[in-house]
Amino acid sequence: MEGKILTKQGLQKVKEELKYLKIEKIPELAKKIADAKELGDLSENAEYQDAKDEQGMVAKKIMELEEILRNVTVYDKDNINTTEVEIGNKVVVETGSGTIEFEIVGTNEVNPVKGKISNESPLGQQMIGKKKGDEIEISVPKGRVKYKILDIK
């Protein structure tokens, strides 16, 4: 797995999720499995099978999070360059329909509703390295959209 890019806040969320899964979820699933075993025949025990399936999914998620932590690059929002767009910046752009603010984040932190777009998205890729006043154009299903960078925070 290639290294992920996260902000400090994104790194903290990954650590919190991993801690929750290890400290709370795994013991909860172990209890579910133990309780289901007490019900008898495991071959026809849906509760047991569901708990085992969930345990497998949680184990996989733990491995993914641990892999992210081993290979993460953290961007510190407090020390970000505001002369050109990079991960962690908030970018104010002007389009034909008005002004929009985006925050450029790593792929694990994407939340379009909150204006957080990935550095790997088409718009994010086009913004990286650009400066205030630069214009970019991307293709969308309805055609092409032009953006002018008004501010980098």
Cα dihedral 84→85→91→96 (10° resolution): 90
What mean pLDDT do residues 99-109 have? 90
Rounded to whole angstroms, the Cα distance separating 137 from 153 reads 21
- Which CATH number applies to 5-74? 1.10.287.180
CA nearest neighbour of 93 among 151, 44, 12:
151
- Tokens (6 digits) for 119: 């550095």
CA distances from 37 to 14, 41, 49 (A): 32, 8, 10
**pLDDT score of 1:** 45
Question: What are 80-103's pLDDT values in tens digits?
Answer: 778 999 888 999 999 988 999 999
Dihedral angle sign, alpha carbons of residues 26, 30, 36, 42: positive
pLDDT digits (tens, 9 = 90+) for 9-50: 888 999 999 999 999 999 999 999 998 888 777 777 788 889
User: In the chain, what are the domain boundaries?
Assistant: 5-74, 80-152
Q: What are phi and psi of 85, to 5 degrees?
A: -70, 130
Q: Report yes or no: 75 and 86 within 8 Å, Cβ to Cβ.
A: yes
CATH fold of the domain at 80-152:
Chitinase A; domain 3 (3.10.50)
